[in-house]
Structure 1
Amino acid sequence: MGGRAVALITAIVVASVTSCGLQSASGTVLEAAPGTIQHYDSLEGVPVTVAAKDFTEQLILGNMLSIILAAAGADVTNMTNTPGSFGVRQAMLSGDANISPEYTGTGWINYLGNENPIKDPTAQWQAVNEADQANGLTWLPPAPMNNTYAFAIRESEAQRLGVTKLSDLATLDRSELTFCVESEFASRNDGFVPMLQTYDLSRDQLGQVITLDTGVIYTATANGDCNFGEVFTTDGRIPALDLRVLEDDRQFFPLYNLTEVIDTELLEAHPELAEIFGQLNPRLTNEVMLKLNAEVDNEGRDPALVARDWLIEEGLLSAPS
């Protein structure tokens, strides 16, 4: 998801890519028949390799792209479950892969090295697409889905305190301003303290602030160890634990809209790829990804089956005969 733990994994992944080659877990591609996404004779037998990262959302998305492309006629290699953001990036730059599901904020900040995110989603996409053309990569128009940082509160407390957005925090008593954050976010120059300043708060005005591992924050928030927990906006634990995500009404957090990054030469040879993903992307919202992620994380379903079932339910593809 966006830049999740990128700083922590970069050195490990880059070292593994450099010293022993790209490590990936190639998967099978589940069969599906065309739906509103049609079969293209022009894609018949065209080799396409999809690379996706190794966390729940990316496992779903990588399989989703692989299933779609196979149904459209391509000869797909599924490299979903490639370790880390920079593992996928290396695969795309080296030509080992030529399509990946990616996030605009990750591209702009983590891959291209820009410090200042762009607040408008269209402008952010246009900027990362233009900059990455120099690397032979094209970013398709993104989905509404924005997997960025946020703060969530358990629903019962949200109703008691009457909070729906981050600007509401300045109206609360100090005793209610208790937070659970991860250590990286707590100390970053674009993290917790600047966020508080954006919303007219200072560290001195807060009650207890607990530093926890990312995965623990969700349950700690749900259990009432703190009122406000740092989360990622499409994490399946949000609905499962009955948490309410507060609106970032002053647009502090970077945008991590999802889209497909495609090798530009492949896209120029097969512009129908943009047509295919132009049917998919508008349907991928935060609400959709919350549901799909929850099916994997909370119900234990296989990511590839979750991906295929949703594509069939949406009519984008149909069940295999």
Structure 2
Amino acid sequence: MSGTRSILLSLALLFILTGCGSDREPLQVGGTQSPEDQIVAELVAELAEAAGIPVKRRIGLGGSRLTLEALKRGEIDLYPEQTGAGLALLGLAQAPDADPDASIALLRDRYASLGLEWSEPLGFENGPRLVMLRDRALSLGIRSYSDLARYADQLALGIDSDMRARPVDGLAPLGRRYGMEFQRTLEIEPRDRSELYDRLLDGDIDVALTRSAAPQIQIFDLHVLEDDLDFFPRYDGALVYRQAVLERFPALEDVLGQLAGAIGKSQMQALSRSVMVRGEDPREVVRAELIRLSLIDGEIGERDRQALNLAVSLSANADGEVGTVLRQLRRSFPTSTVNLIRSDDPLGAIDDARARIALIGAPAFFAPGSADPATGQPPMRSGIEAVALVGTSFLQAFALKPEVSRLEDATVIATGPTGSSGFRVAQSIIDGLQLTATLSPVDGDTPVALADALVDSGADVAILMEPVGNSTALALLQRDLRLIGVDNWVQRNNRIVFPYLQPARLAPSDYARFFPAEHEGAARMSGFSQPVETLSTQLLVAGPAPPGDVRLSTQGPGASLIPRALPLTDQVVERINAGTGKAEDIYPILPQARALTPRLPQPPESLNPSPAASTLSMLALALLIWVTWLMLGPARPARLG
């Protein structure tokens, strides 16, 4: 009996101690659906746990208004917020040049009656920003919100639902302040804000309302428009929390002190890049960063994040073809780091291992200027292979001097840098049409700068080989330069010697969608009022061929290019092609990745197996029948002893 009583007493004591341990509710850390707010919320949670504070995460509740209501009701204890949004929730606004300390003082005064407090600023500003693709903004002459207002009724806007609904700093008051209304508005959830950049690059929208700390602004070289009427105030990151929480968790005050001014804009962009671009879990990203800074204990797990760098020409559009490929690569390889490298010779970037793939036209595979004795064609650059088809590029020849009306009249032809697709096409044109002109390659670190360099080159003609809508071509068309046709290409043996250049036709209607409605037609493109005969080629993704791979026509200037970058595996090639989704086959003349080789159907298995296999099957069947009989057969009567 005494033993039983001892056991009961021990259980009672254990129950009492357990009850005392659960006396204190955990710290409820909340957060909106914004990726940046999720990162800050995880920073608070990790540091609080390291300080011995029990934590319950309620991150991703919704927008600012919903999360504030949860805080006021005591369903959460704190959450990240921006000063501008905090004031807007009270129907207030300050000028964008207001002192951050003054904003915090005002917030503390107005929120005190709610039993809420604001922390010191965290160190980064993350306000709303209207952004456009740089080439698109420059082509329309849009630099500010006031400029945008003149074109808004012709453009589509992308916005998250939280910003659309705000009555003080949202879309409707913004439109009223600038007198602008967009033709169409695409609305997404705040947690899916990364989708806005995909839509922007796809051309589904023209303008996106994003945040200043978003890493995609730098990644995609987006043009941030100027808020010239100072509509948006400052949005300094901070924490808003219940005043009573410091009484429950005194150690939380030290955590808040650790975060004051500790998160700079570059650090927030780096953390956001891991979450928004690479698709990593915010908690793991934050934990790895805190371990790296020795703020918490632990080990950082190793990740296989081999860089998959894409090299493009200096004149390639940041949107359009480049955006399509870059976006599909990042979707197809979420665990890899996909970067963009601009180069005057994208294949050279593969050669020196700065890139693993390149976006090029089919002429870049060849080295015109000489002929391979075996084929009569220009020699092929060795060590590279076509990986995927992206689209079509068109030859666009512009008369830089009024007296020039044909390519045959040119004595000097300006092109892009040596090694570029345009340079190699110009070489092919000179050889194919037997011109006496000399080439004058020019450089430009942006599409518009390249257009300026072509015009200032002093040449008679400028040649581009780019997709329709390329920004360099648009800049030249806007200067009313005349397009010259190539109408005698098929009269020679050129389709045999240069099979990567095919006859095509360009019409003014092909460019209509790249100009605002009031600027369409001959008034804006006086040099391109009628269709012109020209040439086209395939726009491809290329990669390094396997070492020792034997290719046809490896003589010539490119024969010594032995790429040091690792070849792409069959699985990688298949994923890239699944992302681009082009139905047309790549030119047969080009070396192609093994994964693109047509696969023959497998013959059916033989219906007459070998005698040994037949015997084994019979034995297995007999064994199955015997086991079944033992299980289901009549039971034998037991014998009496």
What's the TM-score, normalizing by structure 1? 0.66
Who is 1:64 aligned against?
43
Alignment partner of 1:213 is 2:187 = yes
Report the secondary structure of 1:144's partner residue.
coil
Alignment partner of 1:166 is 2:140 = no
Q: Of 301, 309, 314, which aligns to 2:288?
A: 309
Report the secondary structure of 1:130's partner residue.
helix
TM-aligned CA deviation for residue 124 of structure 1 = 2.1
> Identity of paired residues, percent?
25
Report the secondary structure of 1:317's partner residue.
coil
**Equivalent position amino acid for 1:152 in 2:** V
Who is 1:25 aligned against?
none
Inter-partner Cα distance in structure 1 for 2:54 and 2:46: 11
Inter-partner Cα distance in structure 1 for 2:204 and 2:62: 32
**Equivalent position amino acid for 2:239 in 1:** E
CA distances 1:260-300 after superposition (whole Å, capped 9, x unpaired) = 22221333576653443233242323333333223123212
Who is 2:91 aligned against?
114
The answer to which structure, 1 or 2, has the higher relative contact order (CA under 8 A, 6+ apart) is 1
TM-aligned CA deviation for residue 66 of structure 1 = 0.8
- Mean Cα displacement is larger for which, 310-319 or 219-228? 219-228
Inter-partner Cα distance in structure 2 for 1:263 and 1:244: 39
Inter-partner Cα distance in structure 1 for 2:297 and 2:60: 25
Alignment partner of 1:89 is 2:63 = no
Report the secondary structure of 2:261's partner residue.
helix
Instruction: Mark the CA change 1:270 to 1:261 in structure 2 (over 3 Å): closer, same or farther.
Output: same
**Equivalent position amino acid for 2:282 in 1:** P
TM-aligned CA deviation for residue 138 of structure 1 = 0.9
Inter-partner Cα distance in structure 1 for 2:242 and 2:25: 14
Alignment partner of 1:148 is 2:127 = yes
TM-aligned CA deviation for residue 308 of structure 1 = 0.9
Instruction: Mark the CA change 1:195 to 1:72 in structure 2 (over 3 Å): closer, same or farther.
Output: same
RMSD value, Cα: 3.9
**Equivalent position amino acid for 1:60 in 2:** I
Q: Of 100, 103, 124, which aligns to 1:124?
A: 103
Inter-partner Cα distance in structure 2 for 1:137 and 1:218: 36
CA contact (8 A) 1:218 1:231 kept: no
Alignment partner of 1:262 is 2:241 = yes
Report the secondary structure of 2:123's partner residue.
coil
Matching of residues 163-312 of structure 1 within 5 Å: 166=144, 170=147, 180-182=157-159, 185=164, 203=180, 209-214=183-188, 215=193, 217-224=196-203, 228-248=207-227, 251-267=230-246, 273-312=252-291
CA distances 1:240-271 after superposition (whole Å, capped 9, x unpaired) = 44424345465321333221222213335766
Who is 1:40 aligned against?
none
CA contact (8 A) 1:118 1:124 kept: no
**Structure of greater Rg:** 2
- Mean Cα displacement is larger for which, 47-56 or 301-310? 47-56
**Equivalent position amino acid for 2:144 in 1:** L
Matching of residues 99-110 of structure 1 within 5 Å: 99-110=78-89
Inter-partner Cα distance in structure 1 for 2:69 and 2:175: 35
Instruction: Mark the CA change 1:196 to 1:144 in structure 2 (over 3 Å): closer, same or farther.
Output: farther
CA contact (8 A) 2:156 2:186 kept: no
Who is 2:118 aligned against?
139
TM-aligned CA deviation for residue 210 of structure 1 = 3.8
Unaligned stretches of 5+ residues in structure 1: 1-44
Inter-partner Cα distance in structure 2 for 1:180 and 1:153: 10
Instruction: Mark the CA change 1:261 to 1:239 in structure 2 (over 3 Å): closer, same or farther.
Output: same
CA distances 1:127-169 after superposition (whole Å, capped 9, x unpaired) = 1111111121110111232332111122455677898x637x6
CA contact (8 A) 1:238 1:290 kept: no
Inter-partner Cα distance in structure 2 for 1:320 and 1:193: 48
CA contact (8 A) 2:123 2:261 kept: yes
Instruction: Mark the CA change 1:96 to 1:221 in structure 2 (over 3 Å): closer, same or farther.
Output: closer
Inter-partner Cα distance in structure 1 for 2:213 and 2:122: 13
TM-aligned CA deviation for residue 100 of structure 1 = 1.9
**Equivalent position amino acid for 1:147 in 2:** N
TM-aligned CA deviation for residue 108 of structure 1 = 2.1
Inter-partner Cα distance in structure 2 for 1:141 and 1:131: 16
Corresponding pairs, count: 268
